[in-house]
A and B are shown apart, each in its own frame.
Chain A
Amino acid sequence: MEYAAYAATMQAVWFSYDHGESWNRLLTPTGGFYNEARCWAVCSHPDRPGEVLAGTDQGLYRYTARENRFDFVPSPMDDLHILRIAQHPRDPDFIVCGTRPGEIFLSEDAGRTWMRSNLNAATECWFINTTRITSIHFDPIDTDTLWVTIEIDGIFRSEDRGKTWTRLVDGLADCDTHDLVFIDGDNGKRTVLCSTEAGLHKSTDNGDSWSLVPVPDDIAPWLYWRSIKDRADDSGVVLASVGDKPSGEAGVLLISKDCGESWRRAALSEPVNSTIWSIATHPANPELLFFATIFGQIYRSRDGGESWQKMRRELGEIRMIAWSPVAQAQ
């Protein structure tokens, strides 16, 4: 399977076509994208191989492998930081973007028209002053339901495709929320995991209430949980990153094989230099994963997250990593 990996960095989007070994940006003069634009999000959809949406401080862009360039997608978000992008699992034209300040914008026609959702996130917050959208998820069961995490304002859920929202913070030790994983059992019971600044949280009532999940210090020495992802094979394997602090010097990758009940450390070829900021998985091959640290390291796993090899090439600050099959070899 031919695939491409993508890294959203503080210096535009980087591409790898050799399994993460080497990375390059599009040709600077003609790629359609300022090569030092700050980029926080890359998003691909299984139904659109070779197409990537990128969220930046210059606007929203769409890359297509056929054209090998970025095309600007006009939107009301031109003067905002586009931090997260999600596409409906069965309708790639339904695009949801999250920004700084914490707002949600939706398009149901591939970006031709946009609606700003009445999210009503906090307009000011402690420490970082301005809220930021940290993750957007379509509910795996009911795809008219959207979930959003916000630093610093907790978790929001919409059951009507983004028209109205409910804030879900009951039991959260910290409203600095980062990411979500949904585990739906055969018995119809659901567990939602949420990574926060103050540890891992769990909800068994679809987000209405949360409780802290204790993880031993020798497994997770710190409380700053950042990225959390379920491996794309419905096996219940969950991976999570924990770091000393957002822009710190240390981190670990944890793996759980029982839907987040217990954790152990994944084997890394060498220690990371900072918090692991993003974990990438794709249903085309659940055994293949990438993660990136905030300070530029990239690791690859070919055994479903058990062991990880650091790639030689390091980039600048990385905010997201992703991979997807491509329609044709580059």
Chain B
Amino acid sequence: MSHFLFKPHVCGPKNDITTPDVLIDRAHIVTGGAGTPLPVHRLHPTTELQTVTDSTTVTPAYSLVGCGGGTLLGLAAIVRPTGGAANASDCVLTRSCWRLRNIEAQLDQLVLSADGSPNALSVPLPKLGDLPSVADDSDEGHTVSRGVAAFQIVSGAEIEVSAPATLSLAIVDPQRKRQLSLRLQLTPVAFDPWEQRPTPRYTVGPVGEVKHYI
């Protein structure tokens, strides 16, 4: 079974940080309550990406990750060639996140911004009950099952860019004056910043005859 090792830094209400490592083996891109499965090998925290088409669509998303101490809320970016299949996207997720239950009461105050400008994204977390791997809403709030990550796309937030491009995304918590940030650097795959690539070298420590371990 494939998995992605998620290494979050969970910032709590007292400004302390816990660091659970969580295996994710099911991932979904969620839009309007409907989910599209995403292969977990497409999840990663790498923010410098190479693009293969002239136009790339970047869709900011809330990430929800199932975790024993309570679902984690973070920031993610769904990145795909414009017009490409959603389940062939890269999903970049921040390692910094919050505990959902600590912020649930003010979800409607969170602002998802792109490039420093608020992008009219102040929406409550939608229901996740339609997804078979994810529990329905309960009295305790949203619950995401063990090993599952859900990436809630906010409608109308798609950004089309042509690499090279840099995008700065953030989820802003105005009440606690903090934010989760994600800075994406997109570079055309054909671009090589190092024009001359020499033959790789093998070096030896001591001068003279040595036993090689190849």
Contact = CB atoms under 8 A, between A and B. Distances in A.
B15 A58 contact: no
Contacts of B206: 173-174, 176, 197-198
Interface string A133-176: 00000000000000000011110000000000000000001111
Interface in A108-142: 112-113, 118, 120-127, 129, 131
Contact of B205 (A34, A58, A70, A174): A174
A59 to B, nearest CB: 8
Contact of A29 (B18, B46, B202, B212): B18
23 contacts: A30-B18, A34-B21, A58-B7, A69-B16, A69-B17, A72-B96, A74-B47, A76-B47, A78-B46, A78-B95, A121-B201, A122-B200, A122-B201, A122-B203, A123-B200, A125-B202, A125-B203, A125-B205, A126-B212, A127-B210, A152-B204, A152-B205, A154-B203
B204 A126 contact: yes
B18 A118 contact: no
Interface in B1-60: 7, 9, 12, 15-19, 21, 45-48
Nearest to B185: A113
B191 interface: no
B207 interface: yes
B17 to A, nearest CB: 3
B205 to A, nearest CB: 4
A71 B10 CA distance: 10
B96 A126 contact: no
Nearest to B199: A123
A67 interface: yes
B183 interface: yes
Contacts of A299: none
Interface string A204-234: 0000000000000000000000000000000
Given A72-B95, A175-B203, A175-B205, A30 B213 contact: no
Given A118-B194, A126-B210, A127-B213, A30 B204 contact: no
A84 to B, nearest CB: 18
**Which secondary structure characterizes the binding site on chain A?**
loop
A197 B210 CA distance: 14
A18 to B, nearest CB: 24
Nearest to A29: B18
Nearest to A150: B203
A324 B200 CA distance: 40
Contacts of B47: 74, 76
Contacts of B205: 125-127, 151-152, 174-176, 197-198
A27 B117 CA distance: 38
A163 B121 CA distance: 40
Contacts of B46: 76, 78
B103 to A, nearest CB: 17
B132 interface: no
A126 B19 contact: no
A236 interface: no
Interface string B91-102: 000111000000
A31 interface: yes
Interface residues of B, number: 31
A8 B113 CA distance: 37
A6 interface: no
B204 A175 contact: yes
Contacts of A113: 183
B198 interface: yes
A277 interface: no
A126 B48 contact: no
A176 B204 CA distance: 8
Given A126-B210, A175-B205, A67 B15 contact: yes
Nearest to A27: B16
Interface centre among A67, A126, A173 (most CB of B within 10 A): A126
A30 B14 CA distance: 10
A125 B16 contact: no
Contact of B17 (A71, A76, A153): A71
B17 A126 contact: no
Interface string B78-96: 0000000000000000111
A124 B200 CA distance: 8
A70 B17 contact: yes
Nearest 4 pairs of A and B residues by beta carbon: A32-B17, A30-B16, A176-B205, A123-B200
A59 B48 CA distance: 16
B207 A31 contact: no
Nearest to A154: B203
A33 interface: yes
Contact of A30 (B12, B48, B96, B200): B12
A10 to B, nearest CB: 17
A292 B210 CA distance: 31
